[in-house]
């Protein structure tokens, strides 16, 4: 099986690339300038050159706060670019797995969100990702849309690395404790994507549609930070005091959903896939960072 991943430097794309060899998969990860979703004319040549069995769209504009003042760029990549990629895949009869986000929901529901719940994103980032979902679905009937949440990994910009960096110089940190979600470890999400791709290739029954794929278990950002520092301390890392704060105490340009928990039972029922508990991912992430001397 040959996969083409749109996006090369993001957390999910890098996790897919590093795990492909271990699975014996032929994977090509393309980013700018080889594959630029803001330049639709270049998409078809890239697909025709590499002729993948499945395309994974892990390319995205993910700067949530910056998107509020840069909506044109966010929509160009997350919506127009995603739709153009899906359309070219359809032309070549290639299925697409498209990565989306919990931010398509407004956070007002008390329970975890299921795939059929009404969508109502609060900010530009979520709006552009929702538009991308709709563009992909309209352009290519052979689609899997994977909504995930709170992605972290040993590389790139993410909450784990930010907390560890702040701990180097601060004795106390205020962390938001009134937003709840599912921290998702990118390497574990990558494994789930490979399993989905394999099932799509293997089975006659095609299970196209929208699915939620996030780490098992709920957490607030405060819970997440607490676990990060507990695991880091095992490797000699600094453990600052944590102070629980509210969303109002930490205003941001883009509003965040208070509840972005994702119910992932549909994925388990359709593909037999359940991501590990988020605490397991944190442990592995911190262990990897410690091996690379990224924890003081």
In 10 A of CB 189, how many CB atoms? 26
Tell me if 238 is assigned to some domain. no
Tell me if 94 is assigned to some domain. yes
State mean pLDDT over 251-258. Answer: 95
Domain hosting 33: range is 2-153+183-217+260-276
- Between CA 195 and CA 207 the distance in angstroms is 13
Tell me if 177 is assigned to some domain. no
Residues comprising the chain, all counted: 296
Closest alpha carbon to 215 in 244, 192, 247: 192
The average confidence (pLDDT) of the chain is 94
Residue 207 has which token pair?
A: 């299970």
What separation in angstroms does the CA of 79 have from each of 136, 207, 245?
A: 8, 23, 34
Tell me if 281 is assigned to some domain. no
Q: Is 125 a catalytic residue?
A: yes
pLDDT of the residue at 167: 95
What CA dihedral angle connects 121, 62, 230 and 155, to 10 degrees?
Answer: 160
Tell me if 269 is assigned to some domain. yes
Catalytic residue of the set 103, 125, 185, 222: 125
Tell me if 31 is assigned to some domain. yes
CATH number assigned to the domain comprising residue 81: 3.40.50.720
pLDDT at 296 over 70: no
Tell me if 55 is assigned to some domain. yes
pLDDT of the residue at 160: 97
Tell me if 251 is assigned to some domain. no
SS (H, E, C) the chain: CEEEEECCCCHHHHHHHHHHHHHCCEEEEECCCCCCCCCHHHHHHHHHHHCCCEEEECCCCCCCCHHHHCHHHHHHHHHHHHHHHHHHHHHCCCCEEEEEEHHHCCCCCCCCECCCCCCCCCCHHHHHHHHHHHHHHHHCCCEEEEEECCEECCCCCCHHHHHHHHHCCCCEEEEECCCEECCEEHHHHHHHHHHHHHHHHHCCCCCCEEEECCCECCEEHHHHHHHHHHHHHCCCCCCCEEEEECHHHCCCCCCCCCECCECCHHHHHHHCCCCCEHHHHHHHHHHHHHHCCCCC
For the stretch 185-241, pLDDT in tens is: 999 999 999 999 999 988 766 799 999 999 999 999 999 999 999 999 999 999 999
pLDDT of the residue at 25: 86
Looking at the structure of the chain, the number of domains it has is 1
State mean pLDDT over 242-261. Answer: 96
pTM of the model: 0.94
């Amino acid at each position: 099986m040959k996969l083409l991943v749109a996006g090369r430097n993001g957390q999910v794309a890098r996790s897919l690339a590093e795990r492909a060899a271990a699975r014996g998969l032929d994977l090509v990860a393309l980013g700018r300038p080889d594959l630029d979703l803001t330049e639709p004319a270049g998409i078809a040549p890239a697909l025709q050159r590499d002729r993948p069995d499945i395309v994974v769209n892990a390319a995205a504009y993910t700067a949530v706060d910056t998107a509020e003042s840069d909506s044109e760029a966010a929509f160009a990549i997350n919506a127009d670019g995603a739709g153009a990629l899906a359309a070219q895949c359809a032309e070549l009869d290639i299925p697409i797995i498209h990565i989306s986000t919990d931010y398509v929901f407004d956070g007002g529901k008390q329970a975890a969100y299921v795939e059929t719940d009404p969508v109502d994103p609060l900010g530009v980032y979520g709006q552009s990702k929702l538009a991308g979902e709709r563009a992909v679905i309209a352009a290519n009937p052979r689609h899997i849309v994977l909504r995930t949440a709170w992605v972290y990994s040993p590389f790139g910009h993410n909450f784990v690395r930010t907390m560890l960096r702040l701990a180097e110089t601060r004795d106390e940190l205020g962390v938001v404790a009134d937003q709840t979600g599912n921290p998702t470890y990118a390497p574990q999400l990558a494994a789930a994507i490979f399993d989905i791709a394999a099932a799509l290739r293997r089975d006659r029954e095609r299970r196209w549609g929208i699915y939620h794929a996030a780490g098992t278990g709920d957490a607030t950002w405060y819970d997440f930070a607490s676990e990060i520092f507990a695991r880091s301390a095992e490797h000699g890392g600094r453990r600052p005091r944590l102070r629980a704060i509210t969303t109002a105490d930490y205003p941001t340009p883009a509003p965040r959903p208070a509840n972005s928990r994702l119910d992932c039972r549909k994925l388990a029922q359709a593909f037999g896939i359940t991501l590990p508990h988020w605490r397991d991912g944190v442990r592995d992430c911190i262990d990897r960072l410690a091996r690379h001397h990224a924890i003081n």
